[in-house]
Amino acid sequence: MTLSPVVIRELRALEGARLWVDAPLAPFTTIGTGGKADVLVTVVDTPAVVATLKILQEHAVPWVCLGAGTDLLVADEGYRGAVVKLDDAFHYAEGMPDGDGCAPDRVIVTVGAGTLLARFAAVAAEAGLAGLEFACGIPGSVGGAVATNAGAYRSSMAEVVEAVELAGAAGASWVRAADLEWDYRSCRLPAGTVVVAVRFGLAPGDTATILERHRAILRRRRSAQPRGVRTFGCAFKNPSGGGAGRLIEAAGLKGVRRGGAEISRVHANFLVNLGDATTADVLALMSLMREEVKRTAAVSLEPEVRLLGATFPWEPSGADPGESPAADG
Ligand SMILES: Cc1cc2nc3c(=O)[nH]c(=O)nc-3n(C[C@H](O)[C@H](O)[C@H](O)COP(=O)(O)OP(=O)(O)OC[C@H]3O[C@@H](n4cnc5c(N)ncnc54)[C@H](O)[C@@H]3O)c2cc1C
């Protein structure tokens, strides 16, 4: 699908939205592969998100929200539709304690969905707010972390989010976290919505102790995960009762390459772009990992990474080429 000039004209006329027609998506993802989107719309505030989604809905244009691109694999053929991205104006934190007076039991902080989760975790630690230690090494945005229920070391977003502000074609409103469907590495947001802000409920704590927990988690990550490489983190979810990485390693796949992509020698559930990988290379390795784990351990691995603009090779063809149901318009 190529967007009609009418849609482009209407989007261009919007206040608070910037357009990039035929936008390459690889630079917006940490793995750095894949093709172009018909249009990338960068929005500066919530009314602009609503107005953009209204136009896309009226013209039945498929769309997806892009966060920090740390959990996304874009098809080499690109994405036929619009990619909506929150601008830097969505990087903020309101309600941080000012250090005066007695701390309440729970501090509510409102954070823009574009804010990097790990950065907010660091700011919260410095302010003596506990609960986000698990997030200190997770590189995504706060909005993406809600959509994927990001987590580590047995904690996840579901435990610290009080409410989420969702924008859709009809407007924006706050939804209680308890009213959303949280699951392992997913949160089912109402169809056609973008997370624009998140209210965290954090507990007062001792900064030095919280920072020590951060350091311990970062040390653990550094010893177990590849560093300074292009990757989207874990390719597959951990099946119940075990780690996907261990199963892939036991299948003898560490270091295996296809084209410019490699199964990390450090952590077998990480795929690395060695420099000139294509998404086809990455998908070929994901298929191999799945097949070999099925053959050697009788376990069916499910992808953790979201594939945009295509279906995974093992999925029935004709399935809706996909993105996260969480954010799909
Ligand atoms: C080195 C590395 C380590 C990682 N470690 C972890 C880890 O320990 N635990 C973990 O859970 N993940 C981990 N990840 C994956 C990733 O960081 C998380 O899933 C992160 O929360 C994704 O956020 P993002 O902003 O990058 O989302 P994106 O990758 O941009 O998008 C992911 C999904 O979220 C949707 N989305 C993004 N923003 C919004 C929004 N504002 N509103 C609605 N939907 C939205 C997208 O449409 C897409 O479906 C790791 C990734 C890397 C590269």
pLDDT tens sequence across 175-222: 999 999 999 999 999 999 999 999 999 999 999 999 999 999 999 999
Residue of 50, 70, 225, 264 best suited for mutating to test ligand 1, as the one with most atoms within 8 Å of CB: 70
pLDDT at 231 over 60: yes
Expressed in angstroms and rounded, the spacing between residue 306 Cα and the centre of ligand 1 is 9
Expressed in angstroms and rounded, the spacing between residue 69 Cα and the centre of ligand 1 is 7
> What is the C-alpha separation between 182 and 158, in angstroms, rounded?
6
Spatial contact of 300 and 287, defined as CB atoms under 8 Å apart: no
> What is the C-alpha separation between 189 and 93, in angstroms, rounded?
22
Expressed in angstroms and rounded, the spacing between residue 157 Cα and the centre of ligand 1 is 12
- Kindly state the average pLDDT of the residues 112-141: 97
> Which ligand 1 atom is the nearest neighbour of the CA of 139?
17
Average of per-residue pLDDT values in the chain: 94
Spatial contact of 29 and 271, defined as CB atoms under 8 Å apart: no
Expressed in angstroms and rounded, the spacing between residue 73 Cα and the centre of ligand 1 is 11
Token readout for 51 is 């107005």
Expressed in angstroms and rounded, the spacing between residue 136 Cα and the centre of ligand 1 is 14
Q: Where are the alpha helices (DSSP H) in the chain?
A: 5-12, 46-58, 117-126, 142-147, 207-224, 244-250, 279-297
Residue of 71, 74, 196, 271 best suited for mutating to test ligand 1, as the one with most atoms within 8 Å of CB: 71
pTM across the whole model: 0.95
Residue keyed to tokens 């250090």: 99
pLDDT at 261 over 50: yes
> What is the C-alpha separation between 245 and 253, in angstroms, rounded?
10
DSSP string, 51-104: HHHHHHHHTT--EEEESSSSSEEE-TT-EEEEEEEE-GGG--EE----S-SPPP
Q: Which amino acid residue places its CA nearest to atom 14 of ligand 1?
A: 233
pLDDT tens sequence across 66-124: 999 999 999 999 999 999 999 999 999 998 887 655 567 889 999 999 999 999 999 99
Give Dmax (Cα) for the chain.
61
Q: In Å, what is the CA distance from 273 to each residue of 69, 280, 283, 308, 311? A: 14, 12, 12, 17, 20
Expressed in angstroms and rounded, the spacing between residue 305 Cα and the centre of ligand 1 is 8
pLDDT at 327 over 50: no
Q: Which amino acid residue places its CA nearest to atom 34 of ligand 1?
A: 144
Q: Which amino acid residue places its CA nearest to atom 41 of ligand 1?
A: 143
Instruction: Give the pocket of ligand 1 (CB within 6 Å).
Output: 30, 64-72, 86, 113, 138-141, 143-145, 147-148, 150-152, 185, 194-195, 231-233, 306, 323-324, 326-327
Domains of the chain: 5-89 (3.30.43.10), 91-222 (3.30.465.10), 234-304 (3.90.78.10)
pLDDT tens sequence across 26-51: 999 999 999 999 999 999 999 999 99
Min mean pLDDT across 39-43, 71-75, 142-146, 225-229 is at 225-229
Residues in the chain: 329
The b-or-e profile of 239-269 (16+ CB within 10 A means b, else e) is: eeeeebbebbbebebbebebebbbbbebbbb
